[in-house]
Every structure is written in structure tokens, then in C-alpha cells.
Chain A
Amino acid sequence: RKEVEQDPGPFNVPEGATVAFNCTYSNSASQSFFWYRQDCRKEPKLLMSVYSSGNEDGRFTAQLNRASQYISLLIRDSKLSDSATYLCVVNKERPGGSYIPTFGRGTSLIVHP
């Protein structure tokens, strides 16, 4: 089983739709969690961090469920410009304070008119 798993999609949704992605992780010692966005042939860019209490940034809501070991990303009122690959990232702390960031393979979202 991979450490971080995501449904690769693609998720095809019309403009204005609400779409949700999940990301599961296998290591219960994981410390911090993020969602990144990656456009085709571009570098990943941070979308938002994921906090234990859940957090919202405009149309985007991220949640963490430690008991079930997954994080989620909800996008409301989808825009054409939201079309991209969404990568979840899980940081696992190592002895000595260093950590290893592990990326999922990404979920592809296509928003159509």
C-alpha cells in the first residue's frame, strides 16, 4: 500500500459544481498536511495547509480526519480556471526533527463550460 493515496480521476464537472477529493495516508505518525495545485507542465504551488480543525479559503475547504487517516479538499462553485491536478502532501517527522514530505499522485480536475 502506498503511503499517500489519491484517486487519479479525472473528475469532469460543469462550471458551478461542487467537487470533493479525498487523500488517505498510511502512517499515523504523519504530522502536517497540505494541498498543492499543479497545472500541466508547471511546478506545484501551495493551495492550502490542512489544520486539525479544518480550514477554509474562499471557495476551498480542507479537512483532516486523523482517526480515519484522510484529508479532503472541497471546491465550491467550480471555475474553468480550477482545472488542474491537486496533490496532497503528508509530512512524516523523523527522529532529530527532520521530516520527509510524501506527495500523492494527484487528482485531475477538469471543469467544463
Chain B
Amino acid sequence: DTGVSQNPRHKITKRGQNVTFRCDPISEHNRLYWYRQTLGQGPEFLTYFQNEAQLEKSRLLSDRFSAERPKGSFSTLEIQRTEQGDSAMYLCASSRGQETQYFGPGTRLLVL
């Protein structure tokens, strides 16, 4: 399968803990995006990378959130000191330039 993969698929954590998610994009795609989606809403843009450079960050991305793409391939999204409001589906997508975005299956986070 050469699509976008995300790990883990599900994560349950206690409030205050740190969590890290990984996204592996389609190999020839230079752009990688992170989104958050809650029930009944569309995906909300968090940030995106072109190769290893983080080009845009949403105001939604508070100081507790950080994303990296160190070698321009896979990316990680870390949430520090999780809060119950962080419970959501975290989606990763990749694209070649401004072409179609292909989404991964998402990581579903539940903060207790």
C-alpha cells in the first residue's frame, strides 16, 4: 500500500500527558498537512510543510502543539499537556505541490 499512513490509529490518554502521532506521506509528495476534525465538522487546518520547511501554522495550533518533518519525509505531531478539548481525529494529508491532497486514515485521540 503506497498511500498515506498514520500511527497510531487510536490513542487514549489521560489529561496532562503528552502524545505524539506519526504520518508517513506518499513518497514522492513534497507537501504534508495536518488537520483536526471533530464530530459534525470538516477538517480544520493546523499546519503544513513543504519538504522540511513548515510554511503555515493555524492560530488553532497553540503552544502545546508542535509538528516536525525533519528530513522532508515522515512528520510527527506532538501535543503536550493534553486537555479534554484535544479529543478529535487528527488527519494527515500529502500532495505534490498544489495537486490533490491524499488523506491518511487518521489518528483518533481520546483524552480522559
Contacts and interface: CB of A to CB of B under 8 A. Distances in A.
A87 B42 CA distance: 7
B2 interface: no
Interface in A31-89: 32, 34, 42-46, 49, 87
A86 to B, nearest CB: 10
B98 A91 contact: yes
A103 B103 contact: no
Interface string B59-98: 0000000000000000000000000000000010000001
Contact of A105 (B41, B91, B101): B41
A49 B8 CA distance: 31
Contacts of B101: 46, 101
Given A43-B103, A43-B106, A45-B103, A102 B41 contact: no
Interface residues of A, number: 24
A32 B98 contact: yes
B50 A105 contact: no
Given A44-B103, A94-B56, A101 B42 contact: no
B45 to A, nearest CB: 6
Contacts of B21: none
Interface in A1-37: 4, 6, 8, 32, 34
Contact of A103 (B43, B56, B105): B43
Contacts of A105: 40-42
A43 B91 contact: yes
Contacts of A94: 56
Contacts of A43: 91, 103-106
Given A43-B104, A100-B56, A8 B40 contact: yes
Nearest to B43: A103
A13 to B, nearest CB: 20
